[in-house]
Amino acid sequence: MSELYENRELSWLRFNERVLEESEDGRTPLCERLSFVSIYQTNLDEFFMVRVGSLHDQMLLEDNPKENKTHMTAEKQLEAIRARVEELGRRKDTSYNNLMAEVEKQGIKIINFAKLDTKEGDYLRGYFEREILPLISPITVSKKQPFPFIKNNEICAVAVLGTKSGKQRIGIVPCNNGMFNRLIQIPGREGWYMLAEELILHFLPIVFQGYAIVSKSLIRVTRNADIDADKVYDEELNYRDHMAEVIKQRRKLQPVRMEYTRDLDKKILRRVAQYLKIDKDMVFKSKAPLDLSFVFTIQDILRHKKELFFAKRIPQKSPSFDETKPLIPQIMEKDKFLSYPYESIRPFLNMLHEAANDPEVVSIKMTLYRLAKHSKVVESLVEAAENGKQVDVLVELKARFDEENNIEWSRQLENAGCHVIYGLDGLKVHSKLCLITLKKGDDVTYVTQIGTGNYNEKTSRLYTDLCLMTADQRIGLEAAKIFQKLSLGEVMESTDYLLVAPKCLQNKVVDKIDREIQIARDGGDAYIGVKINSLTDKKIIDKLIEASASGVKIDMVIRGICCLHPGVPGKTDNIRIISIVGRYLEHSRIYIFGKGEREEMYIGSADWMTRNTVRRVEVAAPILDPDLKDRLRDFFFLQMADNVKARELHADGNYTYVPHKAPLVNAQERFFEMAYEAVGGAYEAENVLVPTGKKEEK
């Protein structure tokens, strides 16, 4: 059965390879390709911090657990990861070098000392001694001075120091303390820059006077960030203070990777790895800079050259709303739908602001996972509380890497008089659910919003997400029950309309797949359509395999991890899976079961991953309005028709570009074109040349 499954971690690396392909794609504008090579790097950083960190933790367990699809032990997975990361690292280096050669043609150049004359070298020495040397903290490792703590993803210059006695020491200088610019301009050479860490590395003889520099390199350490907040819960602290302590602990967790840029003596390299307690197999050489975030500064410098960037796209007004009139009555009249980033998030924000001031609104309840730094959502909730309305907000403090942001928002909400809940024991609350309760006389009515993405104004312009706003009282009553359960620290045990994890989503999805299986076995036209970010839930995967073998036609758009191999004869040959990686991050989740009168459609917050289906609180809502169903169906099948940015997954686990046959369909561009057309706006078409990726199919 192993031919049917893919290891989760290796599948994720295939996804990041598709991100890297975007940096190699010659028809993508140059400055956008720079973004993709940087995103590839930051994606990989997080992968090591979370997934590789988790595998290291698993290796410490006595029972040596195996993952449930390919039955690889943690050790075997780490071996496979190392080999794949080395292979992709070489591609990343090549892509970076090719991109910087193109950037140089635009008048920007990142240089080293070999490119400078004596006068320029003297200037940089003076600059270093004046502007940088007073701000750095060099350390030499000795019996009296232990190896220093190196922060997560911090770049350090490391030198092997020769002494007069013939012994060698290690010298270390942290390079990115935030007190000086990363890019240093070369005087008299417009557009020429040097990275600050390269300047520090070059002038190590000044830093470590009295020593001979035997060899030197830049290094960067990535630390495990996989800490279980519930397992280390201290009941003596309130939960918010506890999460602040968790963040502090994460910064000190064990290193899981080291990168370096220049050849060091192998003994010294091993010695540094031993000091850091890093497995020697998790030490990687990089020919590209260890942190590529400076490319965004290059983009800013080149911003005046419009041809180097994607054509400007602005989220459009939704034709479903008349924004000159109150929005809540419009939702009462007919279900509404927003599609980000093609349509603006503004109607939802305006609805929330309207609710905060509507005398008939008595309460607002929301689940918050990730928020913008300057959140209009929080502003409206604060306004509602100050206007005397009951405001109940569940703020998920365990939203990874957003904990500090959420802690601060929770304080502001509490100070304004909101009732704040901090999630459930052992479960993250990942749902995107908002319930507005109105009372007129003795009549109580609900307006419910269910989304696929966070309440974040910034990411609504970058991620593709869907937002349903409905006054269907059946949905409103179930949403009210969800909030009642959350306030008691409980979960929904049963539902009639919504799919609600952890107890009422996976089982209901399986039941709906079973229904299609029976229809196929009875000779009917059975169908399943799914758009999600990741597929890892083995119970659902095995049910999809059974469905395919029974004759159910299955279409899937899966951006990231996919642990199922389609196209295996007799088993998964009725399943087609594509991944779209393009200008916008595909983030919406759609489930379709059946055709015609049997057709059921849902949107929601849950991927089909075990962590979502049984370990989180997630909510998916049915699309009941016929017009919205037609729109969602068209949305899904347009994505399945993409032959510009779509890659198809094959039975061997490899992805290739969908064959580029006329008419060319770039789904993301087409959605924006449709949004502009709907309001009569001027739309500037993007270039849609054939991709140049290495895995292209002609």
Please report which residue ranges of 550-698 form alpha helices under DSSP H.
610-613, 626-640, 667-678
User: Backbone phi, then psi, for 595, in 5-degree steps?
Assistant: -130, 165
Q: Which of 202, 159, 158, 150 is nearest to 177 (CA)?
A: 150
Instruction: Give backbone dihedrals phi and psi of 130, rounded to 5 degrees, phi first.
Output: -90, -40
Positions of E strands within 495-606: 499-501, 527-532, 553-558, 575-580, 585-586, 590-593, 600-604
Q: From CA 28, how far away is CA 689, in angstroms rounded? A: 9
> What is the C-alpha separation between 540 and 517, in angstroms, rounded?
13
Angle between helices 376-386 and 403-415 (to 10 degrees): 20
Q: Using alpha carbons, list the distances in angstroms from residue 663 to 555, 577, 579, 641, 672.
A: 21, 21, 19, 10, 17
User: Whole-angstrom Cα distance, residue 140 to residue 210?
Assistant: 12
- Let me know if 430 is a catalytic residue: yes
3-state secondary structure of 464: strand
Write down the H helix ranges in 217-261.
239-250
**Residue of 202, 430, 565, 587 marked catalytic:** 430
The residues near 273 (Cβ < 8 Å, ≥ 6 apart) are 258, 279, 280, 283
Q: Are 188 and 120 in contact (CB under 8 A)?
A: yes
331/320 Cα distance (integer angstroms): 10
Bridge partners of 420, per DSSP, are 393
Amino acid at 119: K
Q: Is the previous residue joined to 174 through a cis bond, with omega within 30 degrees of 0?
A: no
What is the rounded CA–CA span in Å between residue 403 and residue 579?
30
**Nearest Cα to Cα of residue 689 among 643, 624, 638, 620:** 643
- Alpha carbons 406 and 239: distance in angstroms, whole number: 12
Q: What share of the chain is helix, strand, coil (3-state, %, to 5)?
A: 40, 20, 40
Residue 452 DSSP symbol: S
Number of neighbours of residue 322 by Cβ within 10 angstroms: 12
The phi and psi torsions of 651 (rounded to 5 degrees) equal -60, -25
Phi, psi angle pair for 473, to nearest 5°: -70, -25
554 contacts 574 by C-beta, under 8 angstroms: yes
User: What is the rounded distance in angstroms from the CA atom of residue 657 to the CA atom of residue 544?
Assistant: 24
**Nearest-angstrom CA–CA distance, 155 and 536:** 34
Q: Which residue has the tokens 């449930």?
A: 68
Q: Do 480 and 435 contact (CB within 8 A), yes or no?
A: yes
User: For the sheet containing 109-110, what is the strand order?
Assistant: 109-110, 192-195, 183-185
Distance CA 531, CA 633 (A): 11
Token readout for 477 is 């009553």
User: In which element (H, E) is residue 219 found?
Assistant: strand 212-223
> How far is the C-alpha of 377 from the C-alpha of 447, rounded, in Å?
16
Active site residues: 430
